[in-house]
Amino acid sequence: NAGVTQTPKFQVLKTGQSMTLQCAQDMNHEYMSWYRQDPGMGLRLIHYSVGAGITDQGEVPNGYNVSRSTTEDFPLRLLSAAPSQTSVYFCASSRRAPGDTIYFGEGSWLTVV
Amino acid sequence: SQQGEEDPQALSIQEGENATMNCSYKTSINNLQWYRQNSGRGLVHLILIRSNEREKHSGRLRVTLDTSKKSSSLLITASRAADTASYFCATVGSGNTGKLIFGQGTTLQVKP
């Protein structure tokens, strides 16, 4: 049982490049979400999904796209990376909407230069 | 804007002492959760308390919730050096149960 798996763990991008952060869970969880964590800012919700085919915006969605074509996967796309998107990104999942225990991935460190 | 505000931002205690962290929030909630994060790692769920509950215990952890004051506290008793971490509260609003919103966290240092 791998839990929540994020890839890549580290990535350096140039301004304007695009990339996708991958997130997969093997627990058949309906709820998945993406957060970014900046120093002194705690975690801020980017996008979330309550099931396959359903996504919604969180606190800071601008500059990011998501899709949920399967229950297992919830990729986060940066269409045109900006230095302000330098951050640590966490994917999380729970059985249902977050009244259940949420499980976090180990994080993806992204630097945009 | 973030829902939870935590106090203090940083806390340093000796091993064996108790640590208390507080969380205040702005809007009505469905539930409130506490998480721990060790440096450079993901978050680990500690405890969830629902809006109709006032107190919950889990091992050395005690969480209280006062919905009239829109606040919660996390007490760690008999702290250990291994408790050194950042602690975050997070809330699920009663209006939109799809969003789990985090506070900025309290950094706890337990000195051996």
Contact A5, A23 (CB under 8 A): yes
Strand order in the sheet with A19-25: A4-7, A19-25, A76-78, A64-66
Contact residues on chain B for A50, CB-CB shorter than 8 A: 98
Contact residues on chain B for A59, CB-CB shorter than 8 A: 1-2, 99, 101
Please state, in angstroms and rounded to a whole number, the distance separating the CA atoms of residues B92 and A49: 15
Of B30, B40, B101, the CB nearest to A59: B101
Answer whether residue B36 shows pLDDT above 70: yes
Contact A99, A31 (CB under 8 A): no
pLDDT for residue A61 = 96
pLDDT for residue A80 = 96
The answer to whether the Cβ–Cβ distance between B104 and A59 falls below 8 Å is no
Residue type for position A1: N
Tokens of B73: 């506290």
The tens digit of pLDDT for each residue in A5-56 reads: 999 999 999 999 999 999 999 999 999 999 999 987 789 999 999 999 999 9
The answer to whether the Cβ–Cβ distance between A99 and B101 falls below 8 Å is no
pLDDT for residue A91 = 96
pLDDT for residue B97 = 67
Lowest-confidence range among A9-23, A96-110, B43-57, B64-78?
A: A96-110
pLDDT for residue B1 = 45
Please state, in angstroms and rounded to a whole number, the distance separating the CA atoms of residues A33 and A85: 17
Q: Smallest Cα–Cα separation from B21: which of B93, B111, B86?
A: B86
Size of interface A-B (CB pairs under 8 A): 69
The residue ranking higher by pLDDT, B98 or B42, is B42
